[in-house]
Structure 1
């Protein structure tokens, strides 16, 4: 047969091509390993920044005074003591503070969510003049710092005789632009066919709202409820302004009173009081954190 047969290529000399291919193959793997290591180091650092103060708070609350002021620091109490909690509870009327915070949180959250749901439904499904302009005005209210309206609200509450009352604590804060915005953004993603079908069946607006819209909006509604509960529970400035007796004070103010009473001499008692204020909201957040993250991402791109 005619034609030439190609000669086989000579094998690469030892220590040349093969090692270079190995180096190229191992290079990206080494880079990925280094990047993963750096990510874990950064995550550990961020976790330490956020978890470290909480750890120190809870451990200090069960330490003895000698352990609190010892150097080097005692990272874990040798004999945890719960006496600080009893001292904090008796140093201030925390039972009354808990009651006031519970009432204002439950009532304030219920009224705020009801107001936000009705407003969001109106902006989503009702047709009325200048609706878009009114919604822009509503968004503009988010840019106004809350401290700007403290004086007008107080003058209004004082004129109505609501100083040092639950009405004065709760009613001025039942409007939430943030909650209305989140709910409206989600409601805009609900298929209009559902609403039209309900109207054909003769359903009114309240039936559509409570029978169709709210069940579909359950994740974002739960998120808004949790955010509002934490906001109401931790509210400090307005209860401090609108109340003038220990009988109507709330927990954040009670914690400030505890700190002023104990000074810098008994940090264990102060930390125990802080744990009592923090524990309910921390428990709620740990239970519902996945609902918060999931709810905030729903309806975020449509407006």
Structure 2
């Protein structure tokens, strides 16, 4: 059979079009002008919703007494920029002391959540014991309850322990979070059982498996747990307000409430206090965002 005959008998099948790519339609790599404009309109809209209130609050905190802060559309660039509002906040409340209290509670919350959530996540993901499913269901069921539902029982527990009106009482209910346990459970579950079984056969103890196998693969998620735990402890307002009755022991968010009662007519001072409480979180997230996004993307076992 000649080459010409073979070429006649062989039929080349046409390329099959992907189901999401019809003829005449643009792909994801070449968007149409309408979709291109729509994406940026949506991004700008989301930017205005998320960043707009922060920019307005920052602008208000820098405006002088002669400027109108309720004009529409708002004037975001102060005509008479001043730091007098921040100085008034520092003269009115002991910001430094309150910030130290919030920092102490936040650091303690981070340490306990990272340690206990890692242990609990590993136990639920890799260990076998009776009642594991029931325990996991109880922990997950707490996510369905709003914090206000358990507020009274938590206060009675803290009061019975003699920790009312103390920073320890503020910290203890947030020492471990069910959401953080779930996050660490998800990270620990991605570790193949064969690796842990091989380590156990080689004589590795549970602590050694946690230190040399589990922790290197879940520390990315642990950074997410640490950051979210600190932000939650720093921003918490209701629980410290319930537990603490001595102004000398207030956290920063509770101390800022005094500005609202004393300077309710002057929202410039209130905005300055809000920015003082918010700036540390912005700095923290700016410094730790690399670890945060790496933790979110972390998945498989590292070689």
Counterparts of 2:71 and 2:189 in 1: how far apart (Å)? 59
- Cα offsets for 1:250-296 (capped at 9, x unmatched): 111111111111112x2221111101100111222233345434433
Counterparts of 2:299 and 2:50 in 1: how far apart (Å)? 29
Q: Is the 8 A contact 1:185 1:299 kept in 2?
A: no
TM-score by length of 1: 0.84
Aligned to 2:35: 35
Distance 1:221 1:69, change over 3 A: closer
Counterparts of 2:70 and 2:210 in 1: how far apart (Å)? 60
Aligned to 1:258: 259
Aligned to 1:102: 103
Q: Structure 2: any 5+ residue segments left out of the alignment?
A: 1-22
Aligned to 1:271: 271
What displacement does 1:139 show? Answer: 1.2
What displacement does 1:130 show? Answer: 2.0
Counterparts of 1:71 and 1:129 in 2: how far apart (Å)? 64
- Cα offsets for 1:207-229 (capped at 9, x unmatched): 21122211111211111111111
TM alignment of 1:218-229, pairs within 5 A: 218-229=219-230
Q: Is the 8 A contact 1:188 1:299 kept in 2?
A: no
TM-score by length of 2: 0.84
What secondary structure, in the 3-state scheme, does the structure 2 residue paired with 1:148 have? coil
Aligned to 1:60: 60
TM alignment of 1:78-97, pairs within 5 A: 78-97=79-98
Counterparts of 1:89 and 1:46 in 2: how far apart (Å)? 34
What secondary structure, in the 3-state scheme, does the structure 1 residue paired with 2:148 have? helix
Which range moves more in the overlay, 129-138 or 173-182?
A: 129-138
Aligned to 2:146: 145
- Cα offsets for 1:165-210 (capped at 9, x unmatched): 1221111221211000010011111122321232233221112112
Aligned to 1:286: 286
Counterparts of 1:139 and 1:296 in 2: how far apart (Å)? 20
Please, what is the CA RMSD of the aligned residues? 2.3
Counterparts of 1:84 and 1:217 in 2: how far apart (Å)? 44
Counterparts of 1:100 and 1:291 in 2: how far apart (Å)? 26
**RCO (CA 8 Å, sep 6+): is it higher in 1 or 2?**
1
Which range moves more in the overlay, 183-192 or 279-288?
A: 279-288
Q: Is the 8 A contact 2:113 2:225 kept in 1?
A: no
Which range moves more in the overlay, 289-298 or 57-66?
A: 289-298
What displacement does 1:299 show? Answer: 5.3
TM alignment of 1:218-257, pairs within 5 A: 218-257=219-258
Counterparts of 1:195 and 1:70 in 2: how far apart (Å)? 62
Counterparts of 1:277 and 1:49 in 2: how far apart (Å)? 21
What displacement does 1:298 show? Answer: 4.5
Q: Is the 8 A contact 2:109 2:176 kept in 1?
A: no
Counterparts of 1:218 and 1:256 in 2: how far apart (Å)? 37
Counterparts of 2:227 and 2:259 in 1: how far apart (Å)? 27
What displacement does 1:158 show? Answer: 1.1
Q: Structure 1: any 5+ residue segments left out of the alignment?
A: 1-23
Counterparts of 2:231 and 2:205 in 1: how far apart (Å)? 33
Structure with more of its chain in helix, by fraction: 1
